[in-house]
């Protein structure tokens, strides 16, 4: 594959890792709650990133990072990882991963709009066409839901709203991260700054809410949920987010965000073979449409 497409490839792999981590976090969240998942996964992700930073960059800390990088990347972590993911994880529990990901497919639109207004970043007609085709395919796939389990109306509405909140947090977080990634700054260092800042903020809030002991007790008494959180932290916040930041450095916000919105496509085999859910022809057609959109983006 040509070097030109490294950013796009990283974004697609990011989608796969996010599909894995959304599954693990949903399962763990049903046991210990979405708030506990959000708190603990940031600690696990920071530990993974500290090891990676030491192995690949020779230090435990991004000592060479300028204060403005810390500001933009830290703010990105708070908006995307603390606030945005708090909404998303609760949406997982109320409406499930697929419908939550439908709402998250709005993130690239939000990111592209904000980048257009504030950063002057533009998209070609072909890129816009690819984004629209991909989003149509994603929407088609996610709307293929299990009709034998009608959603509770109140939880359904809340889940949709929280999913929108997650999309807004991710879209804004992507733009803020782009501001801190100027130049050839290491994606591992950038990810560390985002995760570390988010961890400090969320655990400070945990202490103020006097929920520290309760959080620890829940994960200690539910080892399966803990391992699910650790696995999800490795695949998503550690590996996935690092790849997403690399993608942002090597392609536009709109293209990267769209390709990173593909987890519902990769969740199809998970639903069929792990959760034993039926996958209808509508989901297959939606998958084909989304892949056509991805093809348009790759052929630019």
- 8-state DSSP, 63: T
Give the span between the Cα atoms of 111 and 89, in whole angstroms. Answer: 20
Backbone angles phi, psi at 119, to 5 degrees: -110, -10
Q: What is the pLDDT of residue 3?
A: 57
Taking CA atoms, 74 is separated from 79, 82, 168, 233, 296, in Å, by: 9, 11, 17, 18, 34
Distance CA 260, CA 124 (A): 19
Phi-psi group of 277: left, alpha or beta (phi > 0 → left; psi -120 to 50 → alpha; rest → beta)? beta
Supply 189's token pair. 């260092």
Distance CA 182, CA 71 (A): 13
What is the C-alpha separation between 251 and 257, in angstroms, rounded? 10
Long-range pairs for 110-114 at CB < 8 Å and ≥24 separation?
Answer: 110/167, 110/168, 110/170, 110/171, 110/172, 111/170, 111/171, 111/172, 111/174, 111/175, 111/253, 111/254, 111/257, 112/253, 112/254, 112/257, 114/171, 114/172, 114/175
Q: Which residues contact 164 (CB under 8 A, 6 or more apart)?
A: 87, 103, 106
Q: Give CA–CA dist 180/190, Å, rounded.
A: 8
pLDDT in 10s for each residue of the chain, 300 residues = 445 688 889 999 999 999 999 999 989 999 999 999 999 999 999 999 999 999 999 999 898 899 999 999 999 999 999 999 999 999 988 887 877 887 887 887 788 778 888 878 777 788 788 888 888 888 887 776 544 455 577 888 898 899 999 999 999 998 899 889 877 788 889 999 999 999 999 999 999 999 999 999 999 999 999 999 999 999 988 898 889 888 888 888 778 877 887 888 888 788 778 767 677 778 778 878 887 887 776 655
| Domain spans in the chain, listed from the N-terminal domain onward | 3-123+152-266
């Amino acid at each position: 594959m040509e070097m030109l497409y490294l950013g796009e490839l990283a974004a697609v792999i990011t989608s796969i890792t996010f599909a894995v981590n959304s599954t693990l976090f949903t399962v763990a969240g049903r046991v210990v709650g979405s708030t506990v998942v959000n708190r603990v996964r940031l600690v696990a992700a920071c530990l993974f990133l500290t090891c990676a930073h030491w192995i690949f960059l020779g230090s435990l800390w991004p000592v060479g990072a300028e204060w403005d990088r810390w500001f933009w990347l830290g703010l990105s972590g708070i908006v995307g990882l603390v606030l945005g993911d708090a909404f998303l994880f609760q949406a997982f529990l109320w409406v499930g991963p697929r419908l939550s990901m439908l709402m998250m497919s709005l993130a690239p639109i939000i990111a592209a709009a904000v980048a257009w207004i504030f950063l002057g970043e533009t998209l070609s007609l072909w890129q816009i066409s690819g984004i629209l085709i991909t989003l149509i395919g994603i929407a088609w796939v996610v709307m293929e839901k299990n009709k034998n389990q009608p959603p509770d109306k109140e939880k359904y509405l809340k889940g949709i709203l929280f999913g929108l909140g997650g999309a807004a947090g991710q879209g804004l977080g992507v733009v803020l991260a782009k501001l801190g990634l100027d130049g050839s700054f290491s994606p591992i260092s950038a990810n560390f700054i985002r995760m570390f800042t988010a961890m400090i903020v969320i655990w400070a809030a945990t202490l103020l809410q006097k929920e520290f002991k309760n959080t620890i007790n829940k994960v200690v008494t539910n080892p399966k949920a803990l391992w699910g959180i650790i696995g999800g932290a490795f695949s998503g916040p550690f590996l996935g987010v690092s790849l997403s930041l690399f993608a942002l450095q090597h392609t536009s916000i709109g293209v990267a965000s769209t390709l990173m919105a593909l987890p519902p496509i990769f969740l199809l085999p998970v639903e069929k073979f792990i959760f034993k859910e039926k996958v209808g022809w509508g989901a297959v057609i939606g998958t084909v449409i989304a892949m056509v959109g991805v093809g348009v983006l790759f052929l630019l």
